[in-house]
Amino acid sequence: MDTLTRIRAFIDVVEAEGFSAAARKTGRSKALLSKYVRELEDDLGALLLNRTTRQFSLTEAGHTYYRTASDILKEIDNLADLVREKNSDLKGKLRLSVPRTFIDADVGQSLIDFARENPELSMEIVADDRFVDLIEEGFDLAIRITKLEDSGLIARKLSDFRVHAVATPDFVERHGPLETPQDLGKVPCIIDTNSRFQNHIRYFEPGGGTNSVATRGPIEVNSPQA
Q: Where are the domains of the chain?
A: 3-88, 92-142, 169-221
Work out the pLDDT band at 85, boundaries 50, 70, 90. low
Work out the pLDDT band at 86, boundaries 50, 70, 90. low
| CATH (one of 3.90.550.10, 3.40.190.10, 3.40.50.1970, 2.40.50.140) for 92-142 | 3.40.190.10
Higher pLDDT, 131 or 42: 42
Assign a CATH topology to domain 3-88: Arc Repressor Mutant, subunit A (1.10.10)
Work out the pLDDT band at 87, boundaries 50, 70, 90. low
pLDDT given for residue 128 in this prediction: 83
What does the buried/exposed string (b/e) look like for 133-168 if buried means 16 or more CB atoms within 10 Å of the residue's CB?
eeeeeebeebeebeeeeeeeeeeeeeeeeeeeeeee
Dihedrals phi, psi of 209, to nearest 5 degrees:
85, 175
Does this model's pTM top 0.85? My answer is: no
